[in-house]
Structure 1
Amino acid sequence: MNHNTLTRAIRSVLTGTVGIGITLTSIIGHAEDAPKLEKITVTGSSIKGVAAQSTSPITIVRTDELAKQGVTTAEQALGLISANQSSAVAATTVGSSGGVGSAADLRGLGSNKTLVLLNGRRVANSPFNTAAVNLNTLPLSLVERIEVLKDGASAIYGTDAIGGVINFITKKQYQGAGVSVEALAPKGSSGDTQQYNVFGGYGSLEDQGFNVYGAVNYSKKDAVLARERETSRRGGVLPELGVNRTSGASFPANIAGIGNPYASSGCGDSTKNTASGKSCRYNSQADIGVVPEEETFSFLGRGTLKLSDNFNAIAEYMHSESTLTNIIAPDVVAGNGDDYYIYNNSPYYPGNGITPALSGVTGQPLSLNLRSQAGNRISESEQKSDRVLLALEGTAADWDINTGISYAKSTGDENLISGYINNQKLRDRLADGTLNPFGASADANVWNSLAVSGTSQSAEFESTTFDITASRAIYTLPAGDVGFAIGGSVRRDKWSQSQNPTVNSFVESTGVDPTSAPSTGSRNLKAVFTEFQIPIFKSLSAQIAARYDDYNDFGSTFNPKIGLRWQPAKQVMVRGSYSTGFRAPSLYEMHSSNYKTYTAASYNDPALCPGGVVAANGVAVRDCGQQFYRKTGGNDQLQAEESKTFTFGIVYEPIRNLVFSADYFNIQVENQVGVVGESAIFADPLKYADLYVRNGDGSLNYINQTLQNLGDTKTSGIDLGVQWRSAMTKYGRLGLSIDGTYINSYKFQTEKNGEWYNAVGQYNANFGGVITRWKHNANINWNYDAWSLNLQQSFFKGYLDQNAGDQNHRVSNYTLYNLSGTYTGFKHTELTFGIRNVLDTKPPASNVVDNFQMAYDPRYSDIMGRTYFGRVTYKF
């Protein structure tokens, strides 16, 4: 590799022009062979350098290239990173509340073990779980690039950086102005997306001594209902997959222990009802929105003032708002069927002339299992995030200084919009005979008169941080300068969460205890850290880092890291690292109130309805195929999670502009915080007998899913990458990039010193998901003059399905192709058009029952189908 080749290679890494969308920072060569390049702060180090010289693998994603592929959200962008195996996407918020929203999950270790930064500093975590950043609050259009460090980094950043670090980096300065408009339209009905972005900046640091710029973004994505996609329209009745997930809370109502007066005549006029013996079953999963409506607004402002030739002052402010609107089946207003009664004085009592008579009805009060007729439940999860940063950057006495104070705040509200029922009013209307639980009431407005709306719960998380880092070369060895960094930080975190009793006391299906007091928590953190970069020989260098953290509520921890980079030849580079890491229990995990909510799926009570057969003292409509209560919440006795990480990689450039990379990783996490999955609890009632809490009559009150320290997790695998770019010819230039991850092993324990379970290539109920054996993203691009074309392939290897009913189904491989083209020949204007999911590939069939969606798993596939998109950018 000659000097000019190396220079171009490193510059391409720093600008993200190798390949399309994803750039592997694997270019090799001796820095001293190239002309002097400006050094920058690279994710994973406190010492300025070039990404190509990192001892750890770093992937750089250029957002301008992502825009050309129709990628509009941070969730979609990180889905292109093969090391990311996220189990928290926008679709998983359907049927749940108080979650993070959408989150990154490097190595599949959990979103709380992936550290997310904005310009190298922390942003506020989601207010509802305080352990992960909601990606919906990070506007992709305001970001210049994303750096993904696929290595443990607690020695640099402290808590959370076990699986890796994702650093969203905005522009440092901008001159000019522009506007962009983008639209995405699926072939199927609904799911349209519109996005608008306005940006501008003024001033030159060099000539005027200042620069200010700002950007505003607004986007909206419409919801998709189950009936609007072929995959989901049948809801929970999927005989070919062995799935029959229906609800005993139906309309017309079922009478506990007796049956339904309309079972023999078809269970009313709804096609979602079916007769099952003497009762009716409601296909609730066919009556939901499988994709929520998403609406975001964001603003980023940054000002840089040149104080002197050596120092700049920086002020930065980011505000974002994210709203997810979910649609689920009408309210389940019958609970367990033990406190909603119709009396024999009601005109709607079976046999009184309106409702058919029913065997077993002898004038006694009848306990009902009932489904609301006030329409679908619509809820809104609103999260806002703000961060203010005042910083100082520059050099003094050959020291690079970076210091600042930041304040980050996130707030969240869970709002009931419509379809939720005042349970006490319902009891009253049943008792006074004005509401017909089996058909139309005389008062057509009676159901709507029961409606309740308002905020169910709110949360707030605040974090104030002061940090300072100083770095410089402190000594010169024969092989080069020794880089040194030292720094420290102090941080104050504060969290609170409260519920609204005036709403939750009336609406039982919120799953929020209306008597619970507000939850609060706070902590102070102090940390010091240091780092050395040592050139041992011309071909061998080392990174040594260490960090000491002291929490006032948790204790202290010390975490070192050592990395080596060896280049025996110009075409070959070998790198490796060993580090320890930790994650302190979040404030939510330690201090959140315990409360009850419904299970995500329906189950049989193992004591009163084993195997779906009613036992003595059992009641079918109460104990069989039901969504039971589960108790969740925090535990102030939690201990920290700890980790050990080892990586080893090789980068090979056999010819100019062709680079191969392979990086092995091995991670062990101890003392993991989590809950035993609901599927696992019902699958093994003997093992988890202590997690079943019963009422006095023996019926199930709830299962206990409060947080606890579980066992360990061990995972290992290899990241593989290929980068190639042809020489420029009269026909243009071709490029190819492949980013793939092979998981060799992923094993975990659900309890201390317990049995080891496997999650690779098979759905595991204890894990609550699956780790795919192989995942990759590939791009082929062509550039010529003002034209560029891109073909992208994403692949997710299939796996053994959940098979909760002892089926033997296997989820097939999942491959998507996206095609896009961009033209820049018009003055000041860039046009992009493309098709996502060109072949209109449907999600692979799955019998998973841990989500509200049925027939497929929204965490590992996309139900949108073929989607056409266009983007216009005009710069003034």
Structure 2
Amino acid sequence: MMKERGLPRSLRLMFSGGVAVGLGLLAHSVQAQETKTDDAPQQMQRVEITGSSIKRIAAEGISPITVIKADDFTKMGSTTAAEVLSNISGNQTQFNTSSNVGAGKTVGAAADLRGLGSNKTLVLLNGRRLANSAFDGSAVDLNVIPIAALDRVEVLRDGASAIYGTDAIGGVINFITKRSYTGLNVSGEGILPQQSGGAEKRVNVLGGIGDLDKDGYNFFGVIDYHTQNGVKASDRDFSKLGGQNPGVGLNASSGNSYPANFTDVGSGNSSNPYAGNCSSVSPYAFNKSGICRYNSQATIGIVPKTEEIAVIGKGTFKLGADDTASIEYLHSQSKVRTYVAGDVFAGDVSGTGSDYYITSSSPYYPGNGITPANATASGGPLSLNWRSQDAGNRVTESKNSTDRLLLSLEGTKFGWDYKTGLSYSVSKAEDNLAGGYLNNDMVKAGLLSGVINPFGPQNAAGTAFLNSAQLYGTYEDARTQTTALDFTASRELFQLPAGPVGFAIGGEYRKEKANFNVDHALADLDSSTGSQDAQSSSGQRNVKAVFTELSVPIVKSLEAQLAARYDRYSDVGGTINPKIGFRWQPAKQIMFRTSYSTGFRAPSLYELNDPNSKTFTNSAYNDPVLCPGGNVAAGGVAARDCGQQFFKLQGGNKDLQPEKSNSFTLGMVIEPIPTVTASVDYFNIKIKNQISTIPEADIFGDPTKYAGNYVRNADGSLNYVTDTNVNLGNVHTSGFDIGAAWRLPKTAWGNFGLSLDGTYVTQYDYQTETGGAYLNNLGVYGGGVGAAGGVVFRWRHTATLNWSQGPWSAAMQQVYTTGYRDQNGPNVVDAYKNHTVGSYTRYNLSGSYTGFKNLTLTAGIKNLFNTNPPGTNVTDNFQYGYDARYGDAIGRAFFIRGNYQFF
């Protein structure tokens, strides 16, 4: 035990946790302060802080850390790890569960500190790694984090590659579970949106036996179950218009239509039997230039149906006065079911057996009595662009699971604090066809034989045929596994006049494996899975690391932190990354801190080995050769070349080079009066050779620059564009993290507190190629924040007003982001090419009552004023009319939670 060094208690809280995100943490600290005066002598235990390997008093940390207590985010109705992190201002953007709509082989949900990409945010569970998601194997799937078992979440806002490894460039998020528990606790929660869809329920049970100090052991476990219903585009006003949304200038649609468009193989001319009256066949079809266009985005599900279950158990045994051994096992799995428009069958006008076409022998051939006659249909074969609305939406069910077994020892020997652990983690994922996907060969045969009607509703025989053509099962699966052995030891080496010198040394060995498997027996039967050309692949590597850290008190008010890490990758070589930091406290009321570090991130096994496969582009484009500017050129076919979702080749690239970075922070924490604390931290991060993909809009927007990315068929039509992983160039971002907390004087009406956590970004520039021009992504939708593009907000904040009195407590939370210039892409009419997306403000309200014995009741309203997400014309996602990465599609939702402590 060590005595603290004369810091006010409120300032100590500020140092150890940064300023609370505003999820009730301030109210918690206010109540704690009432039980003990600031002047009372206190004993402070040395603890391990995220971002350091040296045990110390929490107040003495140099790095800026935000701490969120589990009790506080559950009070606000947060049900997933992604939702908890969405309220952290430094988490600029994230891939959330809704982003899975229309996307295969995804991470499920991922964090993204500083907008640098989820592959540069390191996610830990109890200070150690989990296996990355099997499909998007560069990030941990947040859906498998056991949220009910958490004690707190610690977010380190500067890079820590010298401590944790090379992929901590953007920051570190450490999910920390309870260390032990005795008793039985049951919680149940329900969330009911005011509008259709999106209802949630959560049930969890926490139980444990054994007092570690008295009995020498403790066993505890948690079972957590969570579900959320899906939301359809038609359930929300901002999404029900799909691609035909004049409010934001959006004019997007698909030429793969229901009723089908056709191209006469003999003449090469395109038309539709219902041209001029497309909507009479389908409410999602409309007329344009003699053919029918299909508003596919109006038919999708915008929020997936999800189911998650997590089980974690831990046994801890006391080996002596200072040493413990533990065994911990985690199993977590999630299912995400997404819905998109019906299956697509696009002809190539070749008139061969490889095409989707009908002949004049079909009863549905135009003019044969069922389908209206059309002058373009000359009597020869008709190549079709058809969407199977009759077979229903395409339904994909993605399953992800994570298992981790950890054996660990920690304690004190010979004056050293030590910890060591042996862990085995495995992540599995699979994508399953669950409805609406049709057998290509059967569809071709059904069209040729005249059983299938491509121009209207099916008769009984056609319906039965499509039902028999449905495909089900797993078409692609993946597995990543990590075996790791780590050891860290730390102690005070000797005393200097200013205090003790702290020292830590450690090492780590990891073996990583990844396997990606394609079931061609199934994948080859449907054109829209994108896996026909993919080949199963695998990769593995060994990583060896040694690291050291030194804490040196230069004078009483000035301390230095020196750290260095050497990593050796079996496939990309070795790297040394140092970190240096200083903490200066010239007076009790003020503290300054600064740090500088370098980073090195090797391409992940997924980025290197992901099987190359073709999938449709997210948005619709014009072939720059055969339909420049939307006008059909010689050899072009309107239904094939204009306003189409073309194929793009995506996947790994074995020629990727590592990313390198430099990070600098400078900050201060002040307490001008005992009830007010504030912090400002400047960050500046530069990354070289960022690994991502070229935004597809850039490829189609500059066909001359990206001419090498276009792959064409023998007849000149576009086969696909190449958009695999590449080293794009550099990224440079800087800004300020700002926090404030004010504990108001105690009143007869209760205790009040205010808190603010905000991030102001001053720069975000990126390159789309090595040595290329820098582009701005700050307050402008661009391609600097991942493959799908996105925006870096100039300002984001979470502000909270807390109140408590006796057994009652309440919190009002405001979450705010500034507006930005919209994507304004090729599917936007000219009048909206300068459209801006407005700022976005949501309020959440909650209240709790603890007056019943062993029972805590919490109720609240999320999105109190039912604020719709701001309208946008972005088409990089499958959800149109708003951006699912930043906007809340659920709207106002009421929640209630009960927690009962049995013993």
1:720 aligned to which of 732, 735, 738: 738
Quote the residue 1:299 is aligned against: 311
* Secondary structure in 1 matching 2:337: strand
In structure 2, the partner of 1:660 is 678
Partner SS, residue 841 of structure 1: coil
- Provide the secondary structure at the position in 1 that maps to 2:234: helix
Q: Residues 251 and 268 of structure 1 are in contact (CA less than 8 Å); yes or no, is this contact kept in structure 2? A: no
Q: 1:382 aligns with which of 399, 418, 424?
A: 399
Question: Take 1:376 and 1:476, find their aligned partners in 2: how far apart are those partners?
Answer: 70
Answer yes or no: is the 8 Å Cα contact 2:258–2:281 preserved in 1.
Answer: no
Corresponding residue of 2:100: 93
Say yes or no: does 1:775 pair with 2:796.
yes
- Once the 2 structures are TM-superposed, how far is the Cα of residue 207 of structure 1 from its aligned partner? 0.6
1:871 aligns with 2:890: no
Deviation at 1:298, TM superposition (A): 0.3
Say whether the 8 Å CA contact 1:87–1:769 is kept in structure 2: no
1:212 aligns with one of 177, 200, 219: 219
> Does residue 160 of the first structure (1) align with residue 167 of the second (2)?
yes
| Superimposed CA distance per residue, residues 90-128 of structure 1 (whole angstroms, 9 cap, x where no aligned partner) | 111100100111110001000000000000000110001
In structure 2, how many angstroms separate the alpha carbons of the residues matched to 1:241 and 1:522?
Answer: 47
Counterpart position of 2:879: 853
Bigger mean CA deviation after superposition, 4-13 or 323-332: 4-13
1:18 offset after TM fit, Å? 6.5
| Residue type of the alignment partner of 1:578 | Y
Matched, 1:790 2:811: yes
1:399 matches 2:416: yes
Cα distance in 2 between the residues matched to 1:34 and 1:750: 57
Describe the SS at the equivalent of 2:271.
coil
- CA distance in structure 1 between the aligned counterparts of 2:18 and 2:313, rounded to whole angstroms: 24
Matched-pair contact (CA < 8 Å) for 1:252–1:267:
no
The one of 637, 641, 655 equivalent to 1:623 is 641
**Which residue, 29, 40, 51 being the options, matches 1:44?**
51
Rounded to whole Å, the distance in 2 between the matches of 1:216 and 1:241 is 45
Q: Structure 1 26/220 Cα, relative in aligned 2: closer, same or farther at 3 Å?
A: closer
Q: Does 1:733 align with 2:735?
A: no
Between the aligned partners of 1:392 and 1:265, the Cα distance in structure 2 is 73
Partner Cα separation in structure 1 for residue 18 and residue 392 of structure 2: 50
User: What is the CA distance between 1:277 and its match in structure 2?
Assistant: 2.8
Partner of 1:418: 435
For structure 2, the residue ranges without an aligned partner over 5 or more in a row are 31-37, 264-268
Distance 1:11 1:797 in 2: 29
Deviation per CA, 1:449-477, whole angstroms, max 9, x where unpaired?
21111101000000000000000000100
CA 335–316 in structure 1, closer or farther in 2 if over 3 Å, else same: farther
C-alpha separation between the residues in 1 aligned to 2:441 and 2:272?
A: 23
- Which residue identity does 2:636 align to in structure 1? G
- Measure the CA separation in 2 of the matches of 1:35 and 1:413: 53
The answer for the alignment partner of 2:480 in structure 1 is: 461
SS at match of 1:746: strand
Deviation for aligned residue 1:211: 0.6
Confirm or deny that 1:862 pairs with 2:872. Answer: no
Residue from 182, 196, 199 that aligns with 1:192: 199
SS in 1 for 2:667: strand
| Contact 1:183–1:871 under 8 Å retained in 2 | yes
The one-letter code of the counterpart of 1:557 is: T
Q: Report percent identity of matched pairs.
A: 51
Q: How does 1:549-560 map to 2 (within 5 A)?
A: 549-560=567-578
Distance 2:372 2:498 in 1: 94
1:328 aligned partner: 340
Deviation by residue 1:167-204 (Cα, 9 ceiling, x = unmatched): 00011111111100001111101100000010111111
| Cα offsets for 1:742-789 (capped at 9, x unmatched) | 000000111111100000001114651110000000011001000001
What is the alpha-carbon distance in structure 2 between the residues aligned to residue 382 and residue 869 of structure 1? 27
2:22–2:756 Cα contact (<8 Å) kept: no
- Give the match's secondary structure for 1:452: coil
Cα 1:776/1:11, change in 2 over 3 Å: closer
Contact 1:7 1:35 in 2 (8 A): no
Q: Distance in 1 between matches of 2:872 and 2:46?
A: 49
Cα separation, 2, equivalents of 1:641 and 1:486: 26
Q: Does 1:310 align with 2:322?
A: yes
Equivalences for 1:11-30 in 2 at 5 Å?
Answer: 20-21=22-23
Which residue of the partner structure matches residue 87 of structure 2?
80
Q: Distance in 1 between matches of 2:277 and 2:592?
A: 74
1: CA distance, partners of 2:17 / 2:681: 23
Query: Are the aligned partners of 1:86 and 1:111 in contact in 2 as well (CA < 8 Å)?
Result: no
AA in 2 matched with 1:54: G
Kindly tell me: are residues 870 and 234 of structure 1, through their superposed partners in 2, closer, same or farther at Cα, counting changes over 3 Å? same
Q: 1:145 aligns with which of 145, 149, 152?
A: 152
Q: Distance in 2 between matches of 1:517 and 1:761?
A: 40
CA drift of 1:56 comes to 1.2
SS at match of 1:446: helix
Indicate the residue corresponding to 1:353 in structure 2: 369
Amino acid at match of 2:656: L
Per the alignment, residue 344 of structure 1 pairs with: 360
Two-structure CA RMSD over aligned residues (Å) = 1.9
Please tell me the residue identity of whatever aligns with 1:539: S
Output one character per residue of 1:656-702: Cα deviation in whole Å (capped at 9) or x when no partner.
Answer: 13101000000000011111110111111111111111111111011
Task: Give the Cα separation in 2 of the matches to 1:475 and 1:793.
Answer: 48
Distance in 2 between residues matched to 1:19 and 1:99, nearest whole Å: 28
Corresponding residue of 1:10: 12
Match of 2:855 among 829, 842, 857: 829
How does the TM-score come out when normalised to structure 1? Answer: 0.97
Distance 2:19 2:701 in 1: 51
Shift of 1:513: 2.2
Q: Distance in 1 between matches of 2:279 and 2:793?
A: 42
Counterpart in 2 of 1:674?
A: 692
Question: Does the 8 Å contact 1:490/1:527 carry over to 2?
Answer: yes
Given candidates 437, 445, 466, the residue that maps to 1:428 is 445
Gaps of 5+ in 1: none
Look up the equivalent residue of 1:552 and give its one-letter code. Answer: S
Paired residue for 1:564? 582
The TM-score, its normalising length taken from structure 2, stands at: 0.94
Whole-angstrom CA distance in 2 between matches of 1:650 and 1:678: 42
State the one-letter code of the partner of 1:496. N
Q: Distance in 1 between matches of 2:408 and 2:587?
A: 41
- 1:181 paired residue number: 188
Corresponding residue for 1:170?
Answer: 177
Amino acid at match of 2:864: V
Of residues 128, 131, 149, the one that matches 2:135 is 128
Matches within 5 A, 1:467-546: 467-513=486-532, 516-546=534-564
CA distance in 2, matches of 1:765, 1:14: 36
Matched, 1:710 2:728: yes
Code of the residue aligned with 1:837 in structure 2: it is: N
Shift of 1:651: 0.7
**Contact 2:406 2:424 (C-alpha < 8 Å) held by counterparts:** yes
Does the 8 Å contact 1:630/1:704 carry over to 2?
A: yes
The separation in 1 between residues aligned to 2:347 and 2:883, in whole angstroms, is 27
Tell me how far apart the structure 1 counterparts of residues 371 and 348 of structure 2 sit (CA, whole Å). 23
Corresponding residue for residue 816 of structure 1: 842
Give the CA deviation at 1:265.
Answer: 3.3
Question: Across the two proteins, how many residue pairs are aligned to each other?
Answer: 871
Match of 1:603 among 621, 638, 643: 621
Q: In 2, are the aligned partners of 1:26 and 1:651 still within 8 Å (CA)?
A: no
Q: 1: distance between equivalents of 2:310 and 2:591? A: 41
Distance apart, 1:603 and its partner CA: 0.7
Are the equivalent residues in 2 in contact too, given 1:112–1:131 (CA < 8 A)?
A: yes
Residues 562 and 579 of structure 1 are in contact (CA less than 8 Å); yes or no, is this contact kept in structure 2?
Answer: yes
Q: 1:184 to 1:335 in 2, by over 3 A?
A: farther
**2:466 paired with 1:450:** no
- Deviation sequence 1:397-450 (CA, Å, 0-9, x none): 110010010111100010010000101101101111111111234413222121
Pick which of 488-497 and 797-806 moved more.
797-806
Determine which of 708, 713, 719 is the counterpart of 1:701: 719
Q: Is residue 2:365 matched to residue 1:363?
A: no
CA contact (8 A) 2:259 2:274 kept: yes
